[in-house]
Structure 1
Amino acid sequence: MIHHNFQFKEATDKERSLYLFLGEALCAVQILEDALSHSMVIKKKDPHQKEEAIELLKKQQRYTFGKGINIAKKESLLPKSLENKLLKILDERNWLIHESVIGDKENFKSNSYFKNIINRSKTLSDNAKALQISIELDLIEYCKNKGKDMSMVKNEMKKNLR
């Protein structure tokens, strides 16, 4: 391994703030992706197929978000309105992962650059969290329709929401 004696400049408060909002958006999107994976597996497997469900979940979690959405759409695992919202957030998720920091390198130090990315990241976080709840509520409804009492789950959800 080659070692260099480079000293990197410490991040400014503005940069740390940017990293905070980007990190929050990344976490919210990952949690949303995981909620989608769990929902799809629960809807595909019967409760007595636990081992198969665990294996399917592992496989499902390796898929890209776009592939997961396409599978859910193809297999009609979600309501159309939820599919459409997921497709809309997919573009923002892809922006976050592939373009958010490098998409406008010329203006990296400008206030408008920071403001735009922070606002877009906040919006993405909020939308991802709302969609996660929508997926969970859809799953609760699915389980209720299968004869399961979901009142404890709903009550737990209400306690954990801010």
Structure 2
Amino acid sequence: MLHHAASLGELRDVLTSAEWPEGPVHLDLIGHSTRGHRLLRLGRTPIDMLDRGVARFFAGLAAEGVLDRHNVVAVRLLGCQTAVTDPGRRTLRMLSRALGVATYGTLVPLLKSHSDAAGLSPRFGHVLASGWTSTEEQWRAGRERSDGGGQGQGESALAVGPPVAQGEAGR
């Protein structure tokens, strides 16, 4: 099921109240990216880890153990080309450090066919780029992770996307 969030506050509400799938989970944040820097937007807020409010939000999620409680192994920023610019890659690295999980962004413009209510289709894992900076950093995080951004066997996703505008349902 695709959950909807148009702000960081709404994202927190979804993450703390949603029914989570079993097993290792990828958290897929789905939306449009900004022009120029190609940062994923939640409503009007770009996910830019240089923004103190955004960084505090994700640090708070980590401190509260929200992702750990639900066995989240990766966060994927699913918007057009969220891993191709320097600001996009920096945000992926900083987000990974803040949350203590792997992060992935996209290398290509995404279409609706790349994902559904269950998140990114596993057959499109090749369009993802990792936000990890080194194998040592992954090791220091001390968590077992899948080999890539695609869902491994037994892994599922919790997908969060923008609210559907009137008249767009079913498109």
TM range, normalised to the smaller chain?
A: under 0.3
Which structure features the higher share of helix residues? 1
Which structure features the higher share of strand residues? 2
TM-score (norm 1): 0.26
